[in-house]
Structure 1
Amino acid sequence: MVYTAIDTFYLTDKQLKNTPSRKDGIDEATETTLRRYGCDLIQESGNLLNVPQQVMGTGQVLFHRFYCKQSFSSFNVKRVAATCLWLASKLEENIRTLRRIINIFHIIECRRENLPLEHLNTSSKKYLELEADLKRCELQVLKEMGYICHVELPHKLMVTYLEVLEAPHQMIQEAWNIANDSLRTTLCVQLKSHVVACGVIYTAARRCYVPLPENPPWWELFDANKKDVDEVCRVLDHLYSLTKVRYIPVCKEDGSFTMCNTSLDSRSQPLAKEGASSGPLMLDDANTRKVEAKAVLKSKEHVTDEKERKSHKCKKDRFRKRKGARWLSRGVDKK
């Protein structure tokens, strides 16, 4: 496997256990949750922006690399996630404007926290401060990367390997989904992409009950060893056993994308299983206001329609009277 000299951002297990976040007192579970939360934001916003998976994957890798250099307590996870997606869209030549990205993150935050979807005033002071903060954050990300932002995702190699192995379509789709999920872990900063691709294929084969050649082992054909493949499988199994991710406020900076001060970020929320439905947060007052507003709007529309109907009827009556009077006057003149 040939790699360029710029593909060198890989950490050992010891370095991953001694990240800047750990030095600031953030435990492993919290750091893992925040990494997953940021990657989920990038994936969801990327889907809403209709960008290719390459853009979302590049943004997630840049996100992981940045927090290997900086602490979650120093940089808000929401702002960094938005910045990494914006930077990735430019790196992959599928550019989305900063205004669109801010708008999408604003919508996602309102949806996740059951807040009313307010108008995003692009000329307000808070919006301009948010825009300037993301631009500063982009420069910080580039600085920490040394302006080397080359990313090699496992997807392309994985598809090639599956074609060589003559895998069925079901297994190819399963492997693609698992490869997307692998970007929520630190595998992208631990192992090279061809090793991650082999681990993803191994996991997909077990799920789809597809036998692969083991004598000789198929992964050796792609320059991978059993130890690294097992490590990828272990990390993926651990990922799928975790509970549904929730935001944990550890940064002093305000990372909200909403223009109001109401936010549920700082509230403690119970965790639910990944596949379980936790249900929406109940905000009775907000729901009541929405129902009342709809009722008032509907009544106004009804009154307006009634007024327009009466006005139209009056106009028709006046027109008929004028027309009748005109014909009557003509008949009198003839006589």
Structure 2
Amino acid sequence: MFPGENRWYFSREEIENNSPSRRDGIDSKEETRLRKSYCTFVRDLGSRFNLHQATIATAMVFCHRLFLRQSHAKNDRWTIAALCLFISAKIESTRLSLKTLIIASNEILHEKVIAAEQKQEVFEQYKELYLSGEKLVLTTLNFDLNVDLPYDILIEAMQKYILDEATQAEFPSVAWKFVQDSLWTTLWLQYQPHHIAGGAFFLTAKHIKMDVQSNGARWCQEFGITPDQINDIRCQMSELYHEKKRIPASTGSIGGTSNSGDVAQQPVPADKCPTSETEGGSSSVADGSVQDKSRPEGVAKDSPDREAGDNQEDSCVRDSAAETSDD
């Protein structure tokens, strides 16, 4: 699966059926869980460095794109996630040293502070893995590091259409949650930024009981989005919120950095949606995958899957909305 003229945008069926992980025996449900875990790790790591939300979002998209071409069975998602954040920070001209990144990553995963006298040893243990891993990430992404984000589009629309004082107080934070939570899905691989912004706008309007019926047509025109696309985004967000497990979410003001692990339980109706199923030293191996055999089995079990604080059983994989059809 390679980006064509639309670069990194694919149908949900292409993403779910053609995944390299699927060919290695990882089913769609498990890959969805793995995806959420590395997104939450990126959020936690980015928050550790107080990185801007745009940097964190870009890193998550890099992860999603990489695992369109690489298998979870052959690549350590924690290492990949850390490197995607490292690269994203570079793009934003944010200074983030490799040593600091490695130390912070291990502290989060092992849920313990690394003593000062051990930090150099940990860095040396992982340095080669991270250096070779960075090459893998860059080549897998074909050095295409441009990620268009929906934030400015959403802000502009809110300034244009959210005029009354009562709505202004509630709308931005809810819309922000919808955009941030959508990062834990593959929506950013299916829809362009104006669609993501439009989906969040409609979902928020419906949630706070704005007059979607009267305004829907001009809002659709504003975002270049169709009712069918809005409903599809709503349905996929509904799947996210209605799963048995709690779903990670980011909170905060527009343009801010999230430091919260709170769960956004946005009441997105699920009706009329189609159903879907949705270790001794580190090394880089000959097939180009990134492997980390040094993390003990207990790491993933005791620390993350980091899904909003829920610990889930997982042996560490080896390295590399609102109904709108009638509005």
Q: Give the TM-score normalised by structure 1.
A: 0.70
How many angstroms apart in 1 are the aligned matches of 2:65 and 2:290? Answer: 21
Distance apart, 1:110 and its partner CA = 2.6
Which residue matches 1:134? 130
Task: Give the number of the structure whose alpha-carbon radius of gyration is greater.
Answer: 1
Which residue matches 2:317? none
Which residue matches 2:300? 265
8 Å CA contact 1:7, 1:150 repeated in 2: no
Distance apart, 1:217 and its partner CA = 4.3
Alpha-carbon deviations, 1:39-90, whole Å to 9, x = none? 1000111111011001001100000000001100111110000010000000
Partner-residue secondary structure (3-state), 1:103: helix
Distance apart, 1:210 and its partner CA = 2.4
Which residue matches 2:201? 201
How many angstroms apart in 2 are the aligned matches of 1:154 and 1:65? Answer: 17
Q: Give the TM-score normalised by structure 2.
A: 0.72
8 Å CA contact 1:39, 1:60 repeated in 2: yes
Q: Percent identity?
A: 22
Distance apart, 1:95 and its partner CA = 2.6
How many angstroms apart in 1 are the aligned matches of 2:240 and 2:312? Answer: 24
Partner-residue secondary structure (3-state), 1:31: helix
Identify which of 161, 165, 179 aligns with 2:161.
165
Distance apart, 1:206 and its partner CA = 2.2
- Partner AA of 1:48 in structure 2: R
8 Å CA contact 1:199, 1:232 repeated in 2: yes
Distance apart, 1:198 and its partner CA = 0.6
Q: Which runs of 5+ in 1 are unaligned?
A: 282-335
Alpha-carbon deviations, 1:229-263, whole Å to 9, x = none? 111111111111231479xx9x9943666xxx573
How many angstroms apart in 1 are the aligned matches of 2:311 and 2:10? Answer: 38
How many angstroms apart in 1 are the aligned matches of 2:198 and 2:206? Answer: 13
8 Å CA contact 1:7, 1:151 repeated in 2: no
Large movers: runs of 4+ above 6 Å: none
How many angstroms apart in 2 are the aligned matches of 1:24 and 1:106? Answer: 27
More relative contact order, 1 or 2 (CA 8 Å, 6+ apart): 2
Identify which of 288, 292, 298 aligns with 1:254.
292
Give the root-mean-square deviation of aligned CA atoms. Answer: 3.1
Which residue matches 2:115? 119
Partner-residue secondary structure (3-state), 1:88: helix
Identify which of 143, 147, 152 aligns with 1:147.
143
Q: Which runs of 5+ in 2 are unaligned?
A: 249-278, 280-288, 314-327
- Partner AA of 2:99 in structure 1: R
Partner-residue secondary structure (3-state), 1:185: coil
Alpha-carbon deviations, 1:133-188, whole Å to 9, x = none? 11111111111111111001111111111111125231111111221111111111
Which residue matches 1:25? 25
How many angstroms apart in 2 are the aligned matches of 1:255 and 1:80? Answer: 14
User: Which segment is superposed worse, 77-86 or 130-139?
Assistant: 130-139
How many angstroms apart in 1 are the aligned matches of 2:205 and 2:103? Answer: 40
- Partner AA of 1:231 in structure 2: D
Structure 1 segment 168-317 matched on structure 2, within 5 A: 168-212=168-212, 213-214=214-215, 216-242=217-243, 243-244=245-246, 253-254=291-292, 261=296, 263-265=298-300
Distance apart, 1:103 and its partner CA = 2.0
How many angstroms apart in 2 are the aligned matches of 1:30 and 1:215? Answer: 36
